[in-house]
Amino acid sequence: MSRLLEADAARAAAVAQHCAANRLMPVPPPELMLCGDGDFRAIGAEFLVHFVQLGGLAPHERVLDLGCGVGRMALPLTQYLGDLGHYDGVDIAAPCIDWCARAITPAYPNFRFAHLDIAHPLYNPPGTLAAERARLPFADGAFDFIALVSVLTHVDASTLDHQAREVARLLAPGGRCFATAFLLNAPSRAGIAAGTARPMFPNMPGAEVLHADAAAPLAAVAYDEDRFLAAFLAAGLRRLRPARYGGWSGRASDVFQDIAILERG
């Protein structure tokens, strides 16, 4: 690790500790917590450290948070990104975006939020835009770092491929994508077969895509790791380093979902 990255990592760790303990930091009302559980502040602080240590996020970079929800990642980033950095958060849940725009942007003008009316059977059923075709409202190469935290776990294969292409379009050369997923490989399939996976996916050896709930297929989606990577490779991204595998399948791990870091050359 370079001295510059070490300094950023140290700063991120200090910011994370401050954010996790800062009871003055705004927290959204419970009715806006649409997905995810656990301590709101602590999880956001944890991911800030992952963004820096695994994704190499620097304070001056341009960040896009796809599926930003109620600002769980945005709030700790307000304490990390410098004056030269900026953040855009987008989400399909309009009430979440409204809260972020009211609670965060007035104090941090370089943090902006936008609603995307993309249809999703669970999170935005009346949406007017098709997820597998929607073009994000940003210029090519506009970002250095794109986060998809617990987003690709709720999309079908055609949307995965489309979002990989959109990420590649929006990243500047050398930009990174930080994506979490349920990745199917030998150890995770073994966990599924043993019944230790949470969510409990069906044991279907060799399947490229698994759904935890047949009645609500997009509630939790797992992808074969090669199939997942192929979507990004086809879009022009490469895996920067091996994935950080999570504990969802029964592995011993300090993270829940698997973390993949993709880079645009």
5 pLDDT more than 80: no
Q: How far apart are CA 34 and CA 102, in angstroms?
A: 18
36 pLDDT more than 60: no
Closest CA to 73 of 48, 99, 109, 106: 48
Q: Phi, psi at residue 209, to the nearest 5°? A: -135, 135
Q: How far apart are CA 179 and CA 263, in angstroms?
A: 11
Q: What is the domain range of residue 220?
A: 3-264
205 pLDDT more than 90: yes
Reported as a pLDDT band with limits 50, 70 and 90, residue 251 is: very high
Q: In this predicted model, what pLDDT tens digit does every residue of 153-182 receive, in sequence order?
A: 999 999 999 999 999 999 999 999 999 999
196 pLDDT more than 80: yes
The CATH number linked to 159 is 3.40.50.150
21 pLDDT more than 90: no
For the residues 107-116, what does the mean pLDDT come to? Answer: 96
Q: Phi, psi at residue 207, to the nearest 5°? A: -65, 140
Q: How far apart are CA 186 and CA 175, in angstroms?
A: 30
Orientation of helix 225-235 relative to helix 157-170, angle to 10° = 40
Q: Taking the CA atoms of the chain, what radius of gyration do you get in angstroms?
A: 18
Q: In this predicted model, what pLDDT tens digit does every residue of 122-144 receive, in sequence order?
A: 999 999 999 999 999 999 999 99
Q: In this predicted model, what pLDDT tens digit does every residue of 51-65 receive, in sequence order?
A: 999 999 999 999 999
Q: In this predicted model, what pLDDT tens digit does every residue of 54-107 receive, in sequence order?
A: 999 999 999 999 999 999 999 999 999 988 999 999 999 999 999 999 999 999
pLDDT of residue 255: 95
Q: How far apart are CA 146 and CA 193, in angstroms?
A: 33
Q: How far apart are CA 251 and CA 259, in angstroms?
A: 14
Reported as a pLDDT band with limits 50, 70 and 90, residue 19 is: low
Q: How far apart are CA 80 and CA 53, in angstroms?
A: 13
Of 263 and 41, the structure prediction assigns the larger pLDDT to 263
Q: 3-state class of 262 per DSSP?
A: strand
pLDDT of residue 4: 57
Cα 42 to the center of its chain, rounded Å: 16
pLDDT of residue 217: 97
Number of domains comprising the chain: 1
Q: How far apart are CA 195 and CA 200, in angstroms?
A: 7
Q: How far apart are CA 213 and CA 185, in angstroms?
A: 20
Q: How many CA atoms lie within 13 A of 108 on its CB side?
A: 26
37 pLDDT more than 90: no
8 pLDDT more than 90: no
pLDDT of residue 17: 73
pLDDT of residue 242: 94
Reported as a pLDDT band with limits 50, 70 and 90, residue 25 is: confident
Provide the mean pLDDT of the chain. Answer: 92
